[in-house]
C-alpha cells in the first residue's frame, strides 16, 4: 500500500530547473531517504511536498488525495509534517509551547472559548499538554519543557524540531538533514528516534548526507542529481548503481 | 544535555555588577540633562537620589530573590498549599480593593490622570496584540481609536443612542476597521506594512478633518452625553473612573486569556517564524487578520471611553503622534508582555504629569529615557523571557 505518490513533480525558478519530472512512491510505514549532491533539488522537493513552494507541474497524492499546490497549513491537516535543514524553532517560546503550537489544528475552541474557559477548553488544553509531554519524552526532552527553546544545545534543538513535527500527528514525517552537524553519538540518537517513529506506524522520509545513516536505516533510497531522479531502490542496489557512483564522482561515499 | 549549571551564578554576578554600572551612568546622564534647566545643586541632588534608589532597589532585589527561593523550598515540602498562587491572588484582590476606593481618597486632578491612564492601558494592550504578539508593525493605531471615539460621538449626538448601547458598535466598528486595513496589508512585510498602516491612520484622520457635514471637521463634535451606571451618584469623574476601571479589567482578562490559548500561541508563532508556523498548521493569513481585528477592538472601546471623558472629540486627538505614543508604551514596557505594556502606559501617561514642574525638561527626559532603554534594555522594562515563562507555568 503506497501512502505517498509523487507524479512528475517539476519546479522551475525562472529558468533554473530545480526539480524536473520527479516521480516516486513510498510505502506506508516505510523509512525512505533522499540523497544527492548539493543543489540536487532535495529541499525544493520537500518544499513542494509541504506546500511552501507551488510545483510548476505535477501532482502529489497522499492516501489518494491530491495535495499539490495546497497551502502549507492545509497540507499539515492531510498528514505531512516536516523539520527544517536550518533549524527553525519558535525561539522565544518554551520547549513545551513549541510542541503546543503544532497541535493547533487539534483544538476546536476558538477565541470565545478561550475567554470563557469552559470545561471543554480546559479539557482540550490539558489533553494537548499531556500529548506534548509524550512527544517530548519520545525524543528525550521532557526535562527541558520549561526552558526557552533558544537555550537548548544544538542537538536538542534538532530533536525538539522532530517532537514538534510529530505533534501535528502526521502520517508522513519529512526530516531535512536530521543529523547535520551532529557528533556520531548524537547521530545514533537520531537513528534511534527514527526507528521509534517507524514503530509508531509513521512513514519517514529524510534527506541525508551521512551514508552510515542512509544505509543503516532506510528501506528505500531515492537519488536526485541536478533536479532529476537518477536512481531508486534498496540500499544494496543503490550502492552498485553506476549512475549514482558517477554522480558522486571522485568520492567513495559508501566506504 | 542541559547547559552546565556551575558557571551560571558567576555569570549572573558579573552581569549584576555590569548592570549597576550602567544604571549609575544613566543616573549621571539624567542629572546632567537637568543641569542647564535647574542648576548645579538640584542636578547633584537628583544624581545622588537616583543612585541611592538604584542601589537600594538592587539590594532589596537580592533579598527578594533569596526570600522567594526559601518560600519555594518551603512550599515544595507542603505540596498541597501552593503559596505563590495564593499570595498572587491576595495581592491582586487587595490591589483591586485599593483601586475601588480610590475615588473617595484621591483629588479630582489625580483621578483625572488615572482615568486617562486607564484609557491608554486599554490602547496599549490592544496594540500589543498586533505589534507585540504577532510582530506586525502598526503605525496607524490611532485611526481605530478615532473610529471608536467618533462612533460614540455620532451615535450619541445624532441618533441619541446611550453609552451602553453604543459601546458594542464602537468596538465592533473599530475591529472591522482593523480587519479592513489588514486585508491589503497582509501580504506585506516589515517596512512596507508599516507604511500602509501609517497611510491608513492618516486617511482616517483626514476624512474626519475634512468631512465637515458629518464629523464637524476640525471643530469636532461636542455635547456628548455622560452615561449612567446602575444609578450610582458619586460625581461624574468618579462614575467615569469606575467605567474605565471595569473596561481595563475586562481588557486585561480577555487579552490574557486569549494569549494563553491556541490563538495566542499562533500569534507568537507567526512572530517567531511565519513559514514555520504555517507548516505547523497555523493559517497565518487568518490569524494575522484576527490579530488586527482583535487589537483594534480594544482601540474602539478606548475611543468610546475617551469620547465620554472629554465629552468632545476632534481630529486633533488622533494624530500620527498619538499612534507613536501608544507604540512607545508597548515598546517601553516590553513587546508582548502584558504586565509590561501596562507599566509602559502608566509611565508614559503619569511621567509628563509628575514632571509638570519642569515643563521644558519633561519631553527631553522622556526622549532620553527611551533612548537609554533601547540601548540597555531593548526588550523593554518587563519584556523578554521571564514573563513568557511565568505565563505558561502558572496555568
Q: In terms of residues, how long is chain A? A: 255
pLDDT in tens, A78-112: 999 999 999 999 988 999 999 999 999 988 888 88
Q: What is the pLDDT of residue B54?
A: 73
Q: From the CB of residue A227, how many other CB atoms can be counted at a distance below 10 Å?
A: 23
* A105 at interface of B, judged by CB pairs closer than 8 A: yes
Q: Are A33 and A19 in contact (CB under 8 A)?
A: no
In chain A, whose CA is at the least distance from the CA of B270? A90
Q: Is the dihedral of CA A187, A191, A196, A197 positive or negative?
A: positive
Give counts: helices (H), strands (E), chain B: 16, 2
Q: What is the pLDDT of residue B362?
A: 67
Question: Any idea which of A4-18, A69-83, B345-359 has the lowest mean pLDDT?
Answer: B345-359
Provide the residue ranges of all domains of chain B, joining segments of one domain with +.
9-68, 98-390
Q: Are B194 and B176 in contact (CB under 8 A)?
A: no
How far does the CA of residue B298 sit from the closest CA of chain A (Å)?
15
Q: What is the pLDDT of residue A239?
A: 86
Q: What is the mean pLDDT of chain B?
A: 81
DSSP A148: B
Q: What is the pLDDT of residue B389?
A: 41
Q: What is the pLDDT of residue B229?
A: 66
* Percent helix / strand / coil, chain B, rounded to 5: 80, 0, 15
Beta strand extents in chain A (DSSP E only): 2-13, 16-27, 31-35, 57-62, 65-66, 80-82, 172-176, 203-207, 220-225, 228-233
Question: Any idea which of A171-175, A184-188, A191-195, B81-85 has the lowest mean pLDDT?
Answer: B81-85
| Band of pLDDT at residue B22, cut at 50, 70 and 90 | confident
Average pLDDT over residues A228-252: 83
Phi first, then psi, for residue A253 (nearest 5°) are -75, -15
Q: From the CB of residue B209, how many other CB atoms can be counted at a distance below 10 Å?
A: 17
| Band of pLDDT at residue B148, cut at 50, 70 and 90 | very high
More confident residue, B72 or B101: B101
Q: What is the pLDDT of residue B13?
A: 61
| Band of pLDDT at residue B390, cut at 50, 70 and 90 | very low
pLDDT in tens, A2-50: 899 999 999 999 888 999 999 999 999 999 999 998 888 999 999 999 9
How far does the CA of residue B253 sit from the closest CA of chain A (Å)?
8
Q: What is the pLDDT of residue B251?
A: 96
pLDDT in tens, B30-59: 777 767 666 777 778 778 877 777 777 767
* A172 at interface of B, judged by CB pairs closer than 8 A: no
Question: Any idea which of A88-97, A153-162, A221-230, B181-190 has the lowest mean pLDDT?
Answer: B181-190
| Band of pLDDT at residue A252, cut at 50, 70 and 90 | low
Of B257, B273, B281, the CB nearest to A105: B281
- Determine the Cα–Cα distance for residues A154 and A182; give it in Å rounded to an integer: 8
Contact (CB<8Å) B290/A151? no
Q: What is the pLDDT of residue A38?
A: 86
Q: What is the pLDDT of residue B395?
A: 35
CB contact set of B188 (below 8 Å; sequence gap of 6+):
B196
Helices (H), B212-235: 212-215
Of A84, A88, A111, the CB nearest to B263: A111
Mutate to test the interface with B, among A111, A155, A173 (most CBs of B within 10 A): A111
- Determine the Cα–Cα distance for residues A84 and B284; give it in Å rounded to an integer: 18
Q: What is the pLDDT of residue B71?
A: 67
Q: What is the pLDDT of residue B28?
A: 79
Chain B contacts to A (CB-CB under 8 A): 1-3, 253-254, 257-258, 260-266, 268-269, 271-273, 275-284, 290, 294, 336, 385, 388-389, 392-393, 395
In chain B, whose CA is at the least distance from the CA of A51? B279
**DSSP per-residue codes, B284-311:** HHHHHHHHHHHHHHHHHHHHHHHHHHHS
Rounded percentage of chain B residues whose pLDDT exceeds 90: 42
For the record, the C-alpha cell of B98 comes out as 485599593
Q: What is the pLDDT of residue A62?
A: 94
- Determine the Cα–Cα distance for residues B191 and B196; give it in Å rounded to an integer: 9
* Model pTM score: 0.84
Average pLDDT over residues B126-146: 95
Q: What is the pLDDT of residue B21?
A: 73
- Determine the Cα–Cα distance for residues B311 and B320; give it in Å rounded to an integer: 22
- Per DSSP, the three-state class of A176 is strand
pLDDT in tens, A166-183: 999 999 999 999 999 899
CB contact set of B126 (below 8 Å; sequence gap of 6+):
B141, B144, B251, B255, B294, B295, B296, B297, B298, B299, B302
First-to-last alpha carbon distance for chain B, in angstroms, is 27
Rounded percentage of chain A residues whose pLDDT exceeds 90: 75
Question: Any idea which of A135-144, B48-57, B68-77, B138-147 has the lowest mean pLDDT?
Answer: B68-77
Q: What is the pLDDT of residue B350?
A: 85
- CA–CA distance from A168 to each of A106, A164, A179, A192, B278 (Å)? 8, 7, 21, 20, 12
Q: Are B300 and B155 in contact (CB under 8 A)?
A: no
Contact (CB<8Å) B282/A71? no
- Per DSSP, the three-state class of B161 is coil
Contact (CB<8Å) A117/B276? no
More confident residue, B285 or B372: B285
For the record, the C-alpha cell of A13 comes out as 525558478
| Alpha-carbon dihedral A142, A147, A150, A156, rounded to 10 degrees | -20
Rama region for A208: left / alpha / beta (φ>0; ψ in -120 to 50; rest) = beta
Average pLDDT over residues A114-122: 88
| Band of pLDDT at residue A253, cut at 50, 70 and 90 | low
For the record, the C-alpha cell of A177 comes out as 538533514
- Per DSSP, the three-state class of A15 is coil
Among residues B232, B213, B393, B209, which one has the least CA distance to residue B317? B209
Residue B5 scores a pLDDT above 60: no
CB contact set of B166 (below 8 Å; sequence gap of 6+):
B151, B152, B155, B156, B304
Of B280, B290, B385, the CB nearest to A76: B280
Query: Please, is A77 exposed, middle or buried when counting C-beta atoms within 10 Å of its C-beta (0-12, 13-18, 19+)?
Result: middle
How far does the CA of residue A236 sit from the closest CA of chain B (Å)?
34
Q: Are B81 and B206 in contact (CB under 8 A)?
A: no
Of B2, B283, B385, the CB nearest to A148: B385
pLDDT in tens, B222-235: 988 877 766 665 56
The maximal CA–CA distance of chain B, rounded, in angstroms, is 72
Contact (CB<8Å) A88/B273? yes
What kind and span of H or E run contains A156? helix A154-166
Question: Any idea which of A115-119, A221-225, B162-166, B236-240 has the lowest mean pLDDT?
Answer: B236-240
First-to-last alpha carbon distance for chain A, in angstroms, is 33
CA angle A154, A158, A159 (to 5 degrees): 115
Contact (CB<8Å) A90/B268? yes
- Determine the Cα–Cα distance for residues B3 and B187; give it in Å rounded to an integer: 40
For the record, the C-alpha cell of A84 comes out as 527544517
Amino acid at each position: 500500500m503506497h501512502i505517498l505518490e509523487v507524479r512528475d513533480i517539476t519546479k522551475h525558478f525562472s529558468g533554473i530547473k530545480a526539480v524536473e519530472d520527479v516521480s516516486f512512491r513510498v510505502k506506508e510505514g516505510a523509512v525512505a531517504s533522499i540523497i544527492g549532491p548539493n543543489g540536487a533539488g532535495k529541499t525544493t522537493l520537500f518544499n513542494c511536498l509541504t506546500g511552501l513552494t507551488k510545483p510548476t507541474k505535477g501532482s502529489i497524492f497522499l492516501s489518494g488525495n491530491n495535495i499539490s499546490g495546497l497551502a502549507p497549513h492545509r497540507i499539515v491537516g492531510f498528514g505531512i509534517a516536516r523539520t527544517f535543514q536550518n533549524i527553525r524553532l519558535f525561539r522565544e517560546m518554551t520547549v513545551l509551547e513549541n510542541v503546543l503550537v503544532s497541535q493547533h489544528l487539534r483544538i476546536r475552541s476558538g477565541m470565545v472559548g478561550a475567554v470563557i474557559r469552559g470545561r471543554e477548553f480546559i479539557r482540550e488544553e490539558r489533553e494537548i499538554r499531556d500529548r506534548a509531554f509524550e512527544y517530548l519524552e519520545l525524543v528525550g526532552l521532557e526535562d527541558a519543557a520549561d526552558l526557552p527553546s533558544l537555550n537548548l544545545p544544538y542537538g536538542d534543538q534538532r530533536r525538539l524540531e522532530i517532537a514538534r513535527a510529530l505533534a501535528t500527528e502526521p502520517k508522513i514525517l519529512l526530516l531535512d538533514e536530521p543529523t547535520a552537524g551532529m557528533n556520531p553519538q548524537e547521530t545514533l540518537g537520531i537513528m534511534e528516534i527514527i526507528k521509534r517513529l517507524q514503530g509508531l506506524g509513521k512513514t519517514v522520509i529524510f534527506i541525508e548526507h551521512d551514508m552510515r545513516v542512509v544505509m543503516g536505516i532506510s528501506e528505500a533510497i531515492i537519488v536526485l542529481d541536478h533536479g532529476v531522479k537518477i536512481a531508486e531502490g534498496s540500499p544494496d542496489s543503490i550502492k552498485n548503481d553506476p549512475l549514482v557512483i558517477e554522480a558522486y564522482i571522485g568520492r567513495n561515499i559508501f566506504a | 544535555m542541559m547547559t552546565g549549571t556551575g558557571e551560571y551564578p558567576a555569570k549572573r554576578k558579573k552581569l549584576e555588577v555590569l548592570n549597576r554600572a550602567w544604571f549609575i551612568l544613566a543616573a549621571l546622564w539624567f542629572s546632567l540633562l537637568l543641569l542647564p534647566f535647574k542648576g548645579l545643586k538640584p542636578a547633584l541632588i537628583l544624581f545622588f537620589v537616583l543612585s541611592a534608589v538604584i542601589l537600594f532597589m538592587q539590594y532589596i532585589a537580592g533579598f527578594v530573590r533569596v526570600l522567594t527561593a526559601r518560600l519555594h523550598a518551603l512550599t515544595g515540602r507542603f505540596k498541597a498549599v501552593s503559596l505563590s498562587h495564593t499570595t498572587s491572588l491576595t495581592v491582586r484582590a487587595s490591589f483591586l480593593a485599593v483601586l475601588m476606593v480610590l475615588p473617595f481618597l484621591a483629588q479630582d486632578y489625580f483621578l483625572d490622570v488615572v482615568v486617562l491612564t486607564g484609557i491608554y492601558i486599554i490602547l496599549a494592550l490592544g496594540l500589543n496584540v498586533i505589534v507585540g504578539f504577532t510582530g506586525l508593525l502598526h503605525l496607524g493605531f490611532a485611526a481605530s481609536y478615532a473610529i471608536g471615539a467618533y462612533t460614540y460621538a455620532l451615535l450619541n449626538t445624532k441618533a441619541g443612542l446611550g453609552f451602553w448601547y453604543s459601546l458594542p458598535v464602537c468596538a465592533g466598528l473599530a475591529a472591522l476597521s482593523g480587519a479592513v486595513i489588514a486585508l491589503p496589508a497582509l501580504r506585506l512585510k516589515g517596512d512596507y506594512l508599516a507604511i500602509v498602516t501609517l497611510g491608513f491612520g492618516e486617511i482616517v484622520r483626514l476624512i474626519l478633518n475634512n468631512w465637515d457635514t458629518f464629523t464637524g471637521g476640525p471643530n469636532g463634535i461636542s455635547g456628548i452625553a455622560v452615561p449612567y451606571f446602575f444609578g450610582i451618584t458619586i460625581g461624574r469623574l468618579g462614575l467615569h473612573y469606575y467605567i474605565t476601571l471595569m473596561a481595563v479589567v475586562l481588557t486585561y482578562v480577555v487579552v490574557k486569556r486569549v494569549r494563553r490559548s491556541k490563538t495566542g500561541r499562533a500569534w507568537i508563532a507567526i512572530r517567531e517564524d511565519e513559514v514555520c508556523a504555517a507548516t505547523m498548521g497555523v493559517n497565518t493569513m487568518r490569524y494575522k487578520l484576527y490579530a488586527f481585528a482583535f487589537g483594534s477592538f480594544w482601540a474602539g472601546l478606548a475611543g468610546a471611553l475617551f469620547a465620554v471623558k472629554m465629552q468632545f472629540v476632534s481630529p486633533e486627538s488622533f494624530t500620527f503622534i498619538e499612534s507613536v505614543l501608544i507604540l512607545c508604551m508597548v515598546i517601553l514596557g516590553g513587546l508582548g508582555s502584558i504586565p509590561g505594556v501596562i507599566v509602559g502606559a502608566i509611565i508614559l501617561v503619569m511621567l509628563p504629569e509628575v514632571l509638570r514642574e519642569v515643563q521644558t525638561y519633561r519631553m527631553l527626559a522622556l526622549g532620553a529615557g527611551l533612548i537609554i532603554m533601547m540601548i540597555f534594555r531593548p526588550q523593554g522594562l518587563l519584556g523578554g523571557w521571564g514573563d513568557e515563562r511565568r505565563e505558561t507555568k502558572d496555568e
